[in-house]
C-alpha cells in the first residue's frame, strides 16, 4: 500500500544510486549529498535530488488531455518530476582579472562530463535492472542539462519522471 513518505523515499533511492555511481569515478561522489526541499542553492561539491513538480499522465495513448478530469472513474497515474543536480568546483579568473587557463577549464570539463555521462547511463541501467523505481512502472528521462559555468561552479541537472502509486489520505470524513 502506498503511503505518505513514498515521494521522499523515491527521491532518497534516486539519490543513493546516483551517489554510488559517482563514488566509483576518479573524482568520487561530491561531499554534500541530500534531498533538497526545492531547487538547491548552487554550491561546490554538491549532489542533490529535489521534486520539481507532481503531475499526472494520461491513462491511455488515445486519451485526450481532458480525460485527466475524469480520474475518479478511470484511475490516476502520478508522475512526479525528480531533478538530480551535481555541481563541482570549477576554475575561476585569477587575481588581476586573468582568465582561468585552458588546461584548468579542460580538466574541469573532464570531471563534469564524466559525472553527466556516468549518471545518464548508470541511472538508466539501474532502472532496467530493477535497482531503482520499478521495472513495471513508467520512467521518463528528460534531457541532462549543463549548468552555466559561473562563480567557480559547473555541473549538470538530470530530470527523471517516474510513476509512483498514490495513497488515500485520511481527511476526517
Determine, yes or no, domain membership for 81: no
* Residues 37-96: tens digit of each pLDDT: 999 999 999 999 999 999 877 655 555 555 555 555 556 678 899 999 999 999 886 656
Determine, yes or no, domain membership for 35: yes
Long-range CB contact pairs, 105-113, < 8 A, 24+ = 105/149, 108/149, 108/154, 109/154, 111/27, 112/86, 112/88, 112/146, 112/154, 112/155, 112/156
Determine, yes or no, domain membership for 8: yes
Determine, yes or no, domain membership for 13: yes
Domain that residue 115 falls in: 1-48+86-92+100-150
Determine, yes or no, domain membership for 130: yes
Provide the number of structural domains found in the chain. Answer: 1
For the whole model, what pTM was predicted? 0.85
Determine, yes or no, domain membership for 134: yes
Determine, yes or no, domain membership for 157: no
Amino acid at each position: 500500500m502506498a503511503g505518505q513518505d513514498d515521494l521522499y523515499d523515491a527521491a532518497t533511492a534516486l539519490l543513493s544510486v546516483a551517489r554510488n555511481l559517482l563514488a566509483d569515478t576518479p573524482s568520487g561522489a561530491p561531499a554534500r549529498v541530500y534531498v533538497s526541499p526545492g531547487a538547491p542553492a548552487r554550491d561546490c561539491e554538491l549532489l542533490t535530488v529535489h521534486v520539481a513538480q507532481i503531475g499526472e499522465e494520461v491513462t491511455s495513448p488515445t486519451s485526450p488531455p481532458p480525460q485527466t478530469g475524469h480520474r475518479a472513474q478511470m484511475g490516476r497515474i502520478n508522475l512526479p518530476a525528480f531533478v538530480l543536480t551535481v555541481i563541482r568546483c570549477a576554475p575561476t579568473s585569477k587575481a588581476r582579472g586573468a582568465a582561468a587557463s585552458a588546461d584548468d577549464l579542460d580538466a574541469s570539463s573532464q570531471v563534469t562530463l564524466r559525472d553527466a555521462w556516468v549518471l545518464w547511463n548508470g541511472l538508466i541501467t539501474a532502472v532496467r535492472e530493477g535497482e531503482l523505481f520499478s521495472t513495471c512502472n513508467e520512467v521518463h528521462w528528460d534531457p541532462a542539462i549543463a549548468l552555466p559555468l559561473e562563480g567557480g561552479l559547473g555541473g549538470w541537472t538530470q530530470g527523471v519522471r517516474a510513476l509512483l502509486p498514490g495513497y488515500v489520505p485520511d481527511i476526517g470524513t
